[in-house]
Amino acid sequence: MSRILAACALLLALGAGALLALGAAAGAQETASTCREGEPALSAQLLFGLSRRDGRPIPESAWRRFLAARITPLFPDGLTVIAGHGQWRGAAGRLRAERTRIVLVVAEDRPETLAALNAIRDAYRAAFAQEAVGLVLSPACASFR
């Protein structure tokens, strides 16, 4: 019992971020070694804001052109686009809310995949005056049948 309390105290001292990191590391080990279904893969979520730094909205037509010209050619096997509403705190410390698009890509976990994801992020930031484009990576087991 004292070991459990000590472990809980340690996690509280380290904070929730440490707990998430420990869980992600354990999940990565499990996914890399065994998949009950499918093959080991990388699940990536790209998080795009649809407002420019000055607050002007990015038109839907411009988003669709970017998707067709810059994302689809790099991941022609498929992806999923999810519309949403998000908020984030920018470098200036101000909380901003905006329409968003989340692009979910499941691909091989290779250096080329990460390079393609970062190329997309850089292109979007440049094209639409964005402070940042989020990227969330998770190990996965993927099966398409």
Tell me the pTM.
Answer: 0.76
| Cβ atoms 95, 89 nearer than 8 A | yes
Average per-residue pLDDT for the chain: 82
pLDDT at 92: 85
| Least reliable range by pLDDT among 5-19, 52-66, 81-95, 116-130 | 5-19
Share of the chain above pLDDT 70, in %: 77
Q: Which CATH number fits domain 36-142: 3.40.50.300, 3.40.50.2300, 3.30.70.120, 3.10.560.10?
A: 3.30.70.120
Residue 47 neighbours by CB under 8 Å, 6+ apart: 86, 100, 102, 133, 134, 135, 136
Could you report how far apart the first and last alpha carbons of the chain are, in Å? 46
Tokens 């869980």 locate to 23
**For the chain, what are the domain ranges?**
1-34, 36-142
Does position 13 have pLDDT exceeding 50, yes or no? no
Residue 63: CB atoms within 10 A of its CB come to 19
104-127 average pLDDT score? 98
Does position 6 have pLDDT exceeding 50, yes or no? no
In this prediction, residue 34 has a pLDDT band, given cuts at 50, 70 and 90, of confident
For the stretch 40-80, pLDDT in tens is 999 999 999 999 988 899 999 999 999 999 999 999 999 99
| Cβ atoms 135, 44 nearer than 8 A | yes
pLDDT at 33: 63
pLDDT at 22: 34
Backbone φ and ψ of 102, nearest 5°? -110, 125
